[in-house]
Structure 1
Amino acid sequence: MSERLFQHKKQQEHCPLCNAVLQVKQGKKGLFLGCSAYPACDYIKPLSFQSESKIIKVLTEQCPACQHPLVLKQGHFGMFIGCSHYPACHFVVHDQPEERAEERIPCPDCQQGELVTRRGRQGKVFYGCNGYPHCKFTLASKPYLVSCPECGSSVCTLKKETQTYRTFQCANKRCRHIFNSEKAF
């Protein structure tokens, strides 16, 4: 037994465009083979054939655009419902929040704009002045029209709620007073 059991055999793959050796490289979507003659040759070949979304469940509903079944998928930004005939059909069910009349809350910073619901880069909800970029006031939690007993600011955020009382915090960044308010029944 002079031959080694686990002998490494180097295999080289060559570029179909320029016949240079392909190298394993790391990109933002994972590993791929790239031409060693880059930038003169920009040939790339993915090493893994992963789809960007994974099918979790086939649903009984039909796609209104092409009549193929809809599927529940896990994508880069979370779960969503889309057509099973992708990429030929790009239908996606968009979550339509219930439209309800929200009370208009004036911006406590600039006194000219109103606080509106916004989404950040990661999809997290926050509340900011609609006068952006002139006013950069934001709140992480939902604002309420409750006046602060300490500074008199008209906007507060709800910190805690029980059956008998609510705990609010002043939205004024210089005050941040925490106080209790009895719950109205």
Structure 2
Amino acid sequence: MAGKMDQAHHFNQLLEAAAQDRPTVSNSGDLLRPLTHGVVIRPLTTHSDARGTVTELMDERWGYPDAIRSSYTFTIRPGVVKGWNLHRRHQDRYTLLTGEIELVLYDTRPASPTFGQICKVVLSEHRRVLVNVPVDVWHADHNIGSRDATIVNFPTEPYDYANPDKYRLPIDTDLIPYSFGPGATGW
């Protein structure tokens, strides 16, 4: 009997010390935490039939103020981080085709209502979205899946080879209050 009491006491002790998870998404899958100011996540429509799928990636009728002027794809290997980087003149507009990444945003815009906040958005091939990264928001892409992730970007300006609009910090910088965990690789 004493053994059972000790086990029950130990269980209760652990439960009292534990923190219960807070809800992070609604039952429809929408994020409950605030997004970085200016970030819009647009669910993408995928049409599926016996032949395969078609996913609409960008449409001018969606109301994005900047037309498509450039697009490119990039990949990220499993466990690798691309970032931290920031753009002063253009927004990124991502959609993920394969794999799974966590897009981590850090808002340092002084006038922003989300100044100083970290925001994490998971992009997955199982629920494709188009997400924009506003000007002057630091961001990094972390492949949290088990295979290469393939992303399409529709930046609001084409790449400027003479004057690249890209500023970088190391992924383990002390200037951003976020850690990708021990052993994270990338730049």
Of Structure 1 and Structure 2, the greater helix share is in: 2
Q: TM-score range by the shorter chain?
A: under 0.3
Of the two, which has the highest radius of gyration?
A: 1
Q: Provide the TM-score with structure 1 as the length reference.
A: 0.22
